[in-house]
Amino acid sequence: MPTKSPRESGWIEVICGSMFSGKTEELIRRLRRAQIARQAVGIFKPKVDTRFSEDHIVSHSELRMEAQIVESAEEIIKKTPQDEVVGIDEAQFFDDTLINVCKKLADQKKRVIVAGLDKDYRGEPFGPMPGLLSEAEYITKTLAICVVCGNPANYTQRLSRETDRVVVGEKDKYEARCRKCYESPEE
């Protein structure tokens, strides 16, 4: 039987999947529950993501929560001294230092909840997500619905011909696709 209660230890939760799979919506749901439980919650997003709001995390279903913008993962540690729960959205846009930041936060007995794309538009592991998945105590894989056939979708299909790895966009540039309907980009 464990001798420590959840309050005496921290952990990392990762919510991952393709675009339009409900990652941010699930992150917001967990953070709201923590707020209802009167826990101190800090919410962060990378500066590069300004699609819906500059100072909120926003789901495609228009749920939103106020967030702090950070340029680097290291800033998160400095901004969370009193927080019990730390939420991080769009984790794929950070560099690999996010992995150690999350580990440090968990070592400080914080619950760390991270949401992000696990694969880029080429179907390859994206940014720090593989490292975060290997460190996480809890993993939730969300699936969208393929816009072509209606099957569970695990891929993000880029519709534009841009070849940069990071191209911030929404339905104008991306679709959720299943394994059968996903078309690997020609590069």
Catalytic residue IDs: 90
**Secondary structure of residue 24 in the 3-state scheme:** helix
- Distance of alpha carbon 105 from alpha carbon 122, whole angstroms: 31
What stretches of the chain adopt beta strand conformation (E)?
11-17, 41-46, 56-58, 64-66, 68-70, 85-88, 111-117, 138-142, 144-145, 152-153, 155-158, 174-177
Cα 139 to the center of its chain, rounded Å: 11
Nearest-Å Rg of the Cα atoms of the chain is: 17
Cβ pair 126, 120 in contact under 8 A: yes
**Secondary structure of residue 45 in the 3-state scheme:** strand
Of 106, 82, 112, 91, residue with least CA distance to 45: 91
Q: Which DSSP category does 125 fall into?
A: B
